[in-house]
Amino acid sequence: MAEVLSVEIRQTLGKRNCRRMRAGGSIPAVLYGHGEAVVHLAVPADELESMVRHGHRVVGLTKGINEQAVIRDVQWDTWGTHILHVDFNRVSSQERIEVEVSIELRGEAPGIKEGGTVEQLLHDVTIECQVTVIPDKIEVNINHLGVDEAITVADLAIPPGAKIVNRELEEAVVHCTVPAAVAAAEEEGAEAEPEVIGRKEAEEEGEEA
């Protein structure tokens, strides 16, 4: 279900008016798509920033206008703390669109206790799906991930009917491996141990003679 966002149609444009709007707690926005006219909006900053940080993508625009839209582009300030501008794209409930969805890891890999290190290789994927089933994020459980094991794109839990369009199914999302330096040190240690034992036995035989 889409999150609801109260918006107002803004009649005045320009950088100076946008600065005043932000100072008053609103964010300038535009709504476009479906061959209809572009509409300039004012959006409550706190509501929008909360939606974006929670990963919500589809919103129901109310009050000043009655539309369903997807958050298409967000412009942040230099420090990434406040939104400066947002683009909304009109969508219908039955429409299929492509949208980027973040990937978040959940749990703790048992491979860590075996000396492995977990590395997340993909942090987001682009999926094509119906507007009504766009996920806020894709969660990946790593509670079963052992050393030298990986979770691939094919293992991701996505909505029924959705498909990932920018990655190969065999591509690794996250894996657990032993760091190269640790593996090399362990291998050297394993090779050195028999040599020490053999040298000790030879020394003992020389002493007996």
How confident is residue 207, by pLDDT bands cut at 50, 70 and 90? Answer: low
Residue 15 is predicted with a pLDDT of 86
Say if residues 201 and 172 touch (Cβ distance below 8 Å): no
Tokens of 198: 């053999």
Kindly report, residue by residue over 35-47, the tens digit of the pLDDT. 899 999 999 999 9
Residue 53 is predicted with a pLDDT of 87
| Order of strands, sheet of 124-130, starting from the edge strand that comes earlier in the sequence | 138-141, 96-106, 124-130, 163-164
> Residue written as tokens 């919103």?
59
Say if residues 26 and 5 touch (Cβ distance below 8 Å): no
The rounded Cα 199 to chain-centroid distance in angstroms is: 55
